[in-house]
Amino acid sequence: MSFNPSIPLITDPILQSAAQIKANFQAVNSAFGDNHYGLTQDEDEFQGMHNLLTLRPTKSGDPATSATQTALYNKVVGSIPQLFYRPNSIQTPIQMTYPSIKSDLSNTQYSFVAGPFIIYGGFIAAVTNGQVITLSPGTMLLYVDMIVSSQPSLPLKVAQVVPTSISGTSFTATYQTTTGTYDVFYFAIGL
């Protein structure tokens, strides 16, 4: 039986509606059991607590917040639902998730830091002087650093490579002290 808000009627004798009231309590307990620890489970410390939170995407954009409110909500970005946080007083929303995090063994790995920053890191073999490196997924690069993974064997030569011409999703590997090709590690932050 589903919950019936009109039970008991004020005119019902208690004996007549007792079974209906019990059925209502069972319906409430059953419905509450979705995404919650049960009200009657053995471990008192978890009774009634959420064990899953499902956020449906907003249909009207970012919610308004007052001076005493914040919002945690789901919004679709590029057909993918993403989690957002909106500070009080209708401040700028902060995206808390990113469509993907890549951590395989290919040259580029990236992750996400709320804000909405994306962190890149990786290894590129045989980089030449002046080589343009483009990172994916696309973002506006804010910071890039590079280091040669192993130094040349000739004495008194230090291979130094720096990122130059940082623009959009790309930067240029520029050698400062030597020529040739070197394996490099890089670290970048994008927005």
Q: What angle do CA 71, 75, 81 make, to 5 degrees?
A: 130
Domain with CATH 2.60.40.3940 in the chain: 108-190
Amino acid at 102: K
pLDDT band at 172, cuts 50/70/90?
A: very high
pLDDT band at 142, cuts 50/70/90?
A: very high
Rg (CA), the chain: 29
- Report yes or no on whether pTM surpasses 0.75: no
What pLDDT, on the 0 to 100 scale, is given for residue 69?
Answer: 94
Q: What is the mean pLDDT of residues 25-29?
A: 83
Q: Using CA atoms, how far apart are residues 116 and 94, in angstroms rounded to an integer?
A: 7
What pLDDT, on the 0 to 100 scale, is given for residue 141?
Answer: 93
What pLDDT, on the 0 to 100 scale, is given for residue 8?
Answer: 80
What pLDDT, on the 0 to 100 scale, is given for residue 20?
Answer: 84
Q: Using CA atoms, how far apart are residues 79 and 131, in angstroms rounded to an integer?
A: 34
Q: What angle do CA 126, 189, 171 make, to 5 degrees?
A: 45
- Among 161, 117, 113, 177, CA closest to 143: 117
8 A C-beta contact, residue 155 and residue 116: no
What is the chain's mean pLDDT, rounded? 81
Q: Using CA atoms, how far apart are residues 87 and 91, in angstroms rounded to an integer?
A: 5
pLDDT band at 65, cuts 50/70/90?
A: very high
Inform me whether the pLDDT recorded for 183 exceeds 80.
yes
Q: What angle do CA 137, 162, 152 make, to 5 degrees?
A: 115
CATH number 2.60.40.1730 given to 108-190: no
What percent of the chain stands above pLDDT 70?
83
Amino acid at 167: S
Q: Using CA atoms, how far apart are residues 178 and 176, in angstroms rounded to an integer?
A: 6
User: Using omega within 30 degrees of 0 as the cis cutoff, is the peptide bond preceding 137 cis?
Assistant: yes
- Among 176, 118, 168, CA closest to 147: 176
pLDDT band at 50, cuts 50/70/90?
A: confident
pLDDT band at 26, cuts 50/70/90?
A: confident
pLDDT digits (tens, 9 = 90+) for 68-85: 999 999 988 878 788 888
Amino acid at 138: G
8 A C-beta contact, residue 73 and residue 58: yes
- Cα-based distances in Å from 66 to 6, 60, 69, 84, 96: 36, 17, 5, 17, 20
Q: What is the mean pLDDT of residues 86-94?
A: 91
